[in-house]
Amino acid sequence: MQTEIQSKTNTSAAKTNVSLLQRIAKIFLYLTLIIVAIVQVLPLIWLFLFSLKNNQEVFNSPPLSIPTDPKWDNYIRAWTEGNIGQYFFNSVFITASAVILTVLLASLVTFAITRMNWKLNKLVLGLFMVGLMIPVHSTLIPLFNFFININLMDHPLAIILTYTAFNLPITIMILLGFYYTLPRELEEAAIMDGCSIHRLFFRIVLPMTAPVVATTAIINMIYNWNEFVFVNTFISSDKYKTLTVGIQNFIGQYQTDWGAIGATLMISILPILIAFVILSNRIVEGITSGSVKG
């Protein structure tokens, strides 16, 4: 009897110790996540405060200090004098066009590779995956010469085609995992009912892949919106420049308007930040949905 009591006491003490360790681990995890969140948010706070300062405050006050006289007119000048409205429209147009084209082409390629039987499907997939290993900057000169030869320099189509080409490999790679998990029974039933291959893709398969399509669209949107090198290289006219390049308008030979630059940067990151916050669950859902079969 005494042995049983002692055994129960030891078991209870062990459970208490395990529970205590779990609580400590959970507290440590939450503290770590809070620190990471603060580190991630601090640059945004700094940029917002930066955008409300004049040049004197930018250089003479601490980085995270609240401006004594907030310069809200920096945003007005950025939108009017800096032609930010035109650059904003260009960013939206180029980003949306490239995302739609990339996702549609990647879905068609993935469907052909995973659902159709043909001899070269593995070779074609390998060629697309090689694109992941090509450094972006190594293609600038060949693309520059190519767009000059076909008269696409200083044209939005040059940027749209470039974004599409470079985003196709990663988009296909994300889609592959999801397509392999799709049940073939639905497709077989549709074909037996007389469904054509085109209707099978657009009416059945594409709607079923909505979560992962949303994921790839968000990833492409973030890359396209923030891209600088290609726009700076292939676009020279103000009417086609995007926000990332248009910021240079406030950099002068003798004086730079740092407050307006901060306001422009704040305007440029707000759309992508809002979209990411609203659709962040979609990213996780789309990535994890194709990771487990069954």
CATH number (1.20.1090.10, 1.10.3720.10, 3.30.470.10, 3.30.505.10) of 82-289 reads 1.10.3720.10
Which pLDDT score, from 0 to 100, does residue 293 have?
46
The C-alpha atoms of residue 163 and residue 136 are separated, in whole angstroms, by 11
Which pLDDT score, from 0 to 100, does residue 267 have?
84
Q: Identify the segments of the chain with pLDDT beneath 50.
A: 253-254, 291-294
pLDDT digits (tens, 9 = 90+) for 96-123: 999 999 999 999 999 988 888 888 888 8
Which pLDDT score, from 0 to 100, does residue 108 have?
92
Which pLDDT score, from 0 to 100, does residue 292 have?
47
Which pLDDT score, from 0 to 100, does residue 266 have?
86
93: exposed, middle or buried (Cβ count in 10 Å: 0-12, 13-18, 19+): middle
